[in-house]
């Protein structure tokens, strides 16, 4: 897995990130979603590395990256904090400007990186994600039922960690090792059995319901939009269209017309359709 990539832990200030990087050419950082680690990109990253320098970190609180002490507003797990990690990581590796690709929760980190650090981000790709505030403002019974984990993981009075870590084997579901890659499967299951990682993932969702929403609202009120070219990769067998056309929702956040491609797979695009994903990324990143 990740042949010819370097695996290291990088201190970015507030946290230490586990990261793999390799290849050569213009830099791109790949950000995983919940409940994965950076190894979800194991089949995509080598395909991109023929033309790009590819950087794959564990987000703070996920995998083997660290997480600061909890704050009352959960801001230690905000997408703003994670975006700052990404910029510091890439600068530490010698990349002041780079493309950013994010899937699921990683897509929220990716667009936050583009909004907070426009001077650093050359291109943005969001995979199966919308701005957090757009989801929350459209919440109805159908969305709450289908995406119920947002509310469960975000609870604080009866923390989800107690339920999950009591029996992680009963809680989590993944494809078989041969389907998602044996090393990837092993890595993510090690994370599932780490109560600290489970807590970090819950804090991600708690931040999403509060501080992340406020950051989105502030940007929208100030008229800030994403300045770089942006592409949406939408899994054709997932339900990102639960609120209607996701491309239409994204349009209000962008200064450039959105590139929009549908990938013929389920939610975990990088594992289910790595060739399609890599092809789309190579076309868009140029």
> What are the distances in angstroms from CA 53 to CA 28, 48, 97, 127, 133?
6, 8, 12, 20, 32
Active-site residue (options: 34, 117, 260, 267): 267
Tell me the average pLDDT across 84-107: 98
CB 206 within 8 A of CB 77: yes
Six token digits for residue 63: 């995998």
Percent of the chain with pLDDT over 70: 100
Q: Which residues of 229-255 are buried (b: 16+ CB within 10 A; e: fewer)?
A: bbbbbbbeebebeebeebbebbeebbe
Tell me the average pLDDT across 117-142: 98
* Residue range 65-91, pLDDT digits in tens: 999 999 999 999 999 999 999 999 999
* Residue range 151-191, pLDDT digits in tens: 999 999 899 999 999 999 999 999 999 999 999 999 999 99
pTM of the model: 0.98
CA distance 121 to 103: 16
Asked about 243 being catalytic, the answer comes back as: no
pLDDT of residue 184: 98
* Residue range 241-273, pLDDT digits in tens: 999 999 999 999 999 999 999 999 999 999 999
Active-site residue (options: 32, 38, 95, 104): 104
Asked about 215 being catalytic, the answer comes back as: no
Domains of the chain: 6-285 (3.40.50.1820)
Six token digits for residue 89: 């990581």
Which residue has 């947002």 as its token pair?
Answer: 150
Instruction: Find residue 56's DSSP bridge partners.
Output: 20
pLDDT of residue 253: 98
């Amino acid at each position: 897995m990740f042949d010819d990539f370097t695996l290291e832990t990088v201190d970015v200030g507030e946290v230490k990130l586990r990261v793999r990087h390799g290849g050569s050419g213009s830099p791109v950082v790949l950000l995983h979603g919940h409940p994965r680690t950076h190894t979800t990109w194991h089949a995509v990253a080598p395909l991109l590395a023929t033309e790009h320098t590819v950087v794959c970190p564990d987000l703070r609180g996920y995998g083997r990256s660290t997480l600061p002490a909890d704050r009352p507003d959960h801001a230690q797990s905000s997408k703003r904090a994670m975006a700052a990690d990404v910029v510091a990581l890439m600068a530490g590796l010698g990349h002041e400007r780079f493309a950013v690709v994010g899937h699921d929760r990683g897509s929220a980190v990716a667009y936050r990186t583009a909004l907070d650090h426009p001077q650093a981000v050359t291109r943005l790709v969001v995979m199966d994600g919308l701005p957090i505030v757009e989801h929350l403002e459209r919440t109805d019974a159908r969305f709450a039922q289908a995406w119920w984990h947002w509310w469960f993981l975000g609870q604080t009075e009866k923390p989800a960690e107690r339920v999950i870590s009591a029996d992680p084997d009963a809680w989590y579901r993944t494809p078989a090792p041969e389907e998602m890659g044996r090393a990837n499967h092993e890595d993510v299951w090690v994370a599932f059995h780490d109560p600290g990682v489970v807590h970090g993932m819950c804090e991600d969702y708690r931040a999403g319901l509060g501080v992340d929403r406020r950051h989105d609202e502030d940007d929208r009120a100030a008229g800030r939009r994403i300045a770089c070219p942006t592409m949406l990769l939408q899994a054709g067998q997932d339900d990102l269209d639960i609120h209607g056309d996701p491309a239409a929702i994204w349009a209000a956040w962008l200064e450039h017309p959105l590139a929009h491609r549908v990938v013929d797979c389920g939610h975990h695009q990088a594992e289910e359709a790595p060739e399609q994903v890599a092809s789309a990324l190579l076309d868009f990143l140029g």
